[in-house]
């Protein structure tokens, strides 16, 4: 039986490049090479697409130029481009140009099935302000929030502090600041605008941050065990730490989440409702706040959550009896059967 040829895209020309490479390395460790023939496509920090042997150190130096087209992956070889057919693509990309619908649109144009959310849901989930509006319209709570469009300034006197200031369309907590008073607001907005011209200001919700990993489409959804992010100080930003593999500087992850069974059911069902309302397919991690009064509000949705050795999504799935290798199998199967779109 022929192996399924899987194009695995990783890297990217954004701040999340290192996280993507780490995720791709975990995929390489857990991919069943008896079933799949990987075609590794790395995107350098400058945005060049390269065919390589995998995401090991130095992959940029031992690689060839490549470009995706409706004829397959075109690879430059001895001055000529030759085509490599792909059965499916797994875009192991995080943040801008990876989770925002850009790569998904390219794959749609190329006519290649792909793992994960489609163009519309990827773009929607990436923009936190738009995701909040859709989720609110579905009757699900979100934090109170304000948006600043390019060139707009905020009146520091209009907010009750603390608030969080963040890029509207970024990930892994890049550009996020917890603002304790009005004198800190302008600097926080400036920091957020290094990553996105559109800025979100939102209330600081009092409660526990609970994650829900989801796999599947429409009514057939699998939710992993929930986790709780326990913070000693600050806010969760493990992907920006110097050595996250050895543990976070300010957070630990409790899996299964140490919350009452009634709350567990509410969080899981709310996570699935958010996933469906935003049109998610394939997989996503839905992060929510479990408030002190027992109610639940959306925090954010990650349509291609981290798959690193320290990431939350694979840990939650493994706790539910689904190791990463099996999760990868299911994601690829969803894409190949066309159920992911």
Task: Say whether 94 is catalytic.
Answer: yes
Active-site residue, selected from the candidate residues 239, 264, 281, 315: 239
Choose among 287, 285, 311: nearest CA to 300: 287
- Say which of 166, 264, 285, 315 is annotated catalytic: 285
CA 153, CA 30: separation in Å to the nearest integer? 47
225 assigned to active site: no
216: left (phi over 0), alpha (psi -120 to 50) or beta: left
Given 50, 94, 198, 281, the catalytic residue: 94
Query: Of 36, 114, 310, 313, which one is the catalytic site residue?
Result: 310
| Catalytic position from the list 58, 245, 321, 338 | 245
Radius of gyration from C-alpha coordinates of the chain: 20
Mapped onto helix, strand or coil, the DSSP state of residue 11 is strand
Angle at the Cα of 279 (from 273 to 283), degrees rounded to 5? Answer: 80
Nearest CA-CA partner of 91 in 324, 333, 311, 305: 305
Vertex 7 angle, CA 331 and 212, to 5°: 30
Element of type H or E holding 24 = helix 17-30
Q: Which of 306, 315, 327, 330 is catalytic?
A: 306
Q: Which of 19, 39, 115, 179 is catalytic?
A: 19
Q: Active-site residue 220, yes or no?
A: no
CB 207 within 8 A of CB 292: yes
Specify whether 245 is catalytic. yes
SS3 content of the chain, % helix, strand, coil (to 5): 30, 30, 40
To the nearest 10 degrees (0 to 180), the angle between helices 312-319 and 324-336 is: 100
Take residue 237 and report the two structure tokens written for it. Answer: 């930003």
Known catalytic membership, residue 22? yes
Distance, C-alpha 71 to centroid of its chain: 28
Q: How far is CA 48 from the centre of its chain?
A: 22
Q: Is 296 a catalytic residue?
A: no
- Give the DSSP H or E segment for 29: helix 17-30
The CB-based long-range contact list for 175-180 (8 Å cut-off, 24+ gap) reads: 176/235, 176/237, 178/204, 178/234, 178/235
What are the residue numbers of the active site? 19, 22, 94, 239, 245, 285, 306, 310
């Amino acid at each position: 039986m022929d192996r399924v040829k899987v194009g695995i895209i990783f890297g990217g020309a954004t701040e999340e490049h290192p996280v993507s490479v780490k995720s791709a390395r975990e995929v390489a460790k857990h991919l069943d090479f008896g079933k799949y023939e990987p075609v590794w496509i790395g995107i350098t920090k400058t945005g060049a697409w390269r065919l390589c042997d995998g995401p090991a150190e130095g992959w940029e130096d031992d690689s060839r130029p490549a470009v995706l087209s409706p004829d397959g992956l075109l690879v430059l070889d001895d001055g000529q481009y030759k085509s490599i057919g792909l059965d499916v693509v797994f875009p192991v990309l995080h943040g801008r140009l990876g989770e925002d619908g850009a790569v998904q649109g390219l794959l749609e144009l190329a006519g290649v099935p792909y793992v994960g959310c489609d163009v519309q849901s990827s773009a929607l989930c990436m923009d936190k302000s738009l995701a909040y509006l859709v989720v609110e319209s579905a009757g699900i709570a979100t934090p109170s929030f304000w948006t600043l469009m390019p060139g707009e300034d905020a009146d520091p006197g209009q907010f009750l502090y603390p608030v969080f200031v963040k890029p509207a369309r970024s990930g892994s907590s890049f550009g996020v600041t917890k603002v304790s008073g009005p004198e800190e607001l302008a600097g926080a907005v400036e920091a957020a605008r290094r990553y996105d011209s559109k800025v979100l200001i939102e209330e600081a919700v009092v409660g526990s941050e609970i994650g829900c990993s989801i796999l599947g489409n429409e009514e057939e959804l699998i939710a992993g065990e929930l986790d709780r992010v326990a913070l000693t100080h600050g806010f969760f930003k493990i992907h920006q730490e110097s050595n996250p593999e050895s543990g976070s500087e300010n957070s630990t992850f409790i899996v299964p989440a140490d919350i009452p069974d009634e709350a567990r059911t509410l969080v899981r069902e709310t996570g699935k409702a958010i996933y469906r309302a935003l049109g998610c397919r394939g997989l996503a991690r839905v992060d929510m706040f479990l408030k002190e009064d027992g109610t639940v509000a959306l925090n954010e949705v990650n349509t291609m959550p981290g798959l690193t050795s320290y990431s939350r999504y694979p840990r939650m799935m493994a706790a539910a009896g689904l190791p990463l290798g099996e999760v990868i199998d299911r994601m690829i199967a969803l894409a190949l059967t066309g159920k992911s779109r």
